[in-house]
Amino acid sequence: MWLTRRLHNIHIFFAPLSEQNVFGVLKRMQKEIKMNNFLVEILKNENFNNFTVIQLRDKYLEISESVTCKDEARKYVYKQILRLVGLGLLLKKGKKNSQTTLYKKTDLFGAATFIIKEHVG
């Protein structure tokens, strides 16, 4: 099924993107994602999947010695999760704006290239 949009009397057609199509686009783009080294370490662990923001925040606080404020860490982790959802690397499962929302890594996550940042922000 094709989607169409009309923009200034020009019809633009959009093909629906499956995860496989998105994977092909991402592979061609060779997108590099800058991210905190601790978050990359946590997320690349195969056993860490289907997680909440709070679970990722707690793991982040466990291994990060410089971050101590739970609220600031939660906000930072949430922003990074939203970036990854937007890039198609994570899937959001659950109700909107719920503390029980789960995030799951997609196949695109394994193909992504991360550039390590040492500091938060």
Domain ranges for the chain = 30-117
The residues facing 12 across adjacent strands are 5
Give Cα 19 distance to the centre of its chain. Answer: 14
* Radius of gyration over every alpha carbon of the chain, rounded to an integer in angstroms: 17
Q: Are 48 and 41 in contact (CB under 8 A)?
A: no
For position 28, what pLDDT does the model report? Answer: 44
Among 39, 29, 2, 26, CA closest to 107 = 26
Band of pLDDT at residue 121, cut at 50, 70 and 90: very low
> Percent of the chain beyond pLDDT 70?
71
Averaged pLDDT of the chain: 81
Cβ neighbours of residue 22 closer than 8 Å, sequence gap 6 or more: 88, 108
CATH class of 30-117: mainly alpha
Q: Are 20 and 14 in contact (CB under 8 A)?
A: no
**More confidently predicted of 6 and 62:** 62
Instruction: Reply yes or no on whether the pLDDT at 47 is more than 60.
Output: yes
Q: pLDDT tens digits, residue range 73-113?
A: 999 999 999 999 999 999 999 887 778 899 999 999 988 99
Name the pTM for this structure.
Answer: 0.71
Task: Quote the tokens at residue 64.
Answer: 């990060």
